[in-house]
Amino acid sequence: MSTWKALVGRISFLASAPTPPPETSVLDLYKQTWGTNPQNFQDAPNPLMPSTAQGVVDGMTVACTKLPNRVDFSVTPNTTIPTADLSIRFIEDASTLRGELSRIAAAIAANQIIVPEMLNRVAVFIQFVAIEPDLVSANKAVSRAIPRGYGGELSDEEAFVLQFSRSQALRDVPKVKLNVLTKWSVEQFQVVSFGVSFGVSVGGVAGENPQTGIVPQVRSYIGASVSFDCNTPPTRETLVGNERSALILEALNIASRAQLEYGLNVEGFDRVSRKAN
């Protein structure tokens, strides 16, 4: 049986109006969200590129990214501690992931995180992955996760993708509907590390006349992937904090129920960690 784990969670706010939202600082957004200065900050090197603030919280890499037309809060595995074997990292405790995203939603409702109202399109993205030894195994893993009636027999086909969306109306936020876009796919993952190597000249002594150079290392994996992209369509409606929060929380509920329904059984994602409450 496959072991499904959480790879990434992201809350996004996008603009759907032709008027740009007021300028906001990604540093301010990071501090509002995680209550501390980021460990890494990169200002936009180009007006059309994002600015990013990043740190590590509860063993996960967290980041706030800002473009003129969107803001993203992402949660990914902590890759700051290198491993010798270039193993692929996951968010091992999925309850922590869900808890963190839920906490961000609550903070938005409480106006602790100030996202401009003109970014009135809300999106939540969650990806679960099961690493498999080969393509055939990955195809089998993704096939098992596809609801009856949608999938067929897969063997060694490459580049399998199944994707569709279902829209749902929310009682708490009647002014917009929620598109629930689910994608089943087999993907190739690469862990890339750039390290500095030190060598010795031929016949020399260790440490004498060292040769240095950048030695990129790459390790590839194949995995089955199921991702949920829950988002509201472009609209002229203004969404206030409570409404945005309700949409985010409902998206998390939908992803939680769906991953159980599809047999992923991601450990912990059906509950919120106590630390995040």
Partner 1 sequence: MSAEKQTNYRFDAVYIVSAGSAVPALPYTGFEPTQLATPALQSTQLAAPPVTIGYYGTALSPTLTVGGTVSLQEAVLSSNTTLVSVPTFFQPTMSADYQELGLTLAALNSSTDEEWKIDKPIYEIARYVASELMAESYPAPKLFIHGPNSVVFLWEEGANNLYLTVSEHYISALALAGDEIQARVEFDRSTLPGTSILLPAIESARLGRPVLSSVG
Residues 112-151 within binding reach of partner 1 (CB under 8 A): 121, 123, 125, 127
Judged by CB under 8 A, does residue 190 bind partner 1?
Answer: yes
| Complex with partner 1: residue 47 or 207, whichever CB lies closer | 47
Judged by CB under 8 A, does residue 59 bind partner 1?
Answer: no
d(CA 258, CA 227) in angstroms, rounded, equals 10
| Complex with partner 1: residue 135 or 272, whichever CB lies closer | 135
Judged by CB under 8 A, does residue 168 bind partner 1?
Answer: no
d(CA 225, CA 77) in angstroms, rounded, equals 16
At 158 the three-state DSSP class reads coil
| Complex with partner 1: residue 139 or 272, whichever CB lies closer | 139
* Among 4, 5, 6, 7, interactor with partner 1 by CB under 8 A: 7
The amino acid occupying position 82 is P
Judged by CB under 8 A, does residue 20 bind partner 1?
Answer: yes
Shortest Å, Cβ 203 to partner 1: 29
Q: Among residue numbers 87 through 106, which ones bind partner 1 (CB under 8 A)?
A: 88-89
Angle at Cα 36 formed by Cα 15 and Cα 10, nearest 5°? Answer: 35
The answer to whether 262 and 192 have CB atoms below 8 angstroms apart is no
At 108 the three-state DSSP class reads helix
Q: Among residue numbers 205 through 244, which ones bind partner 1 (CB under 8 A)?
A: 225, 229, 231, 233-234, 236
The answer to whether 229 and 185 have CB atoms below 8 angstroms apart is no
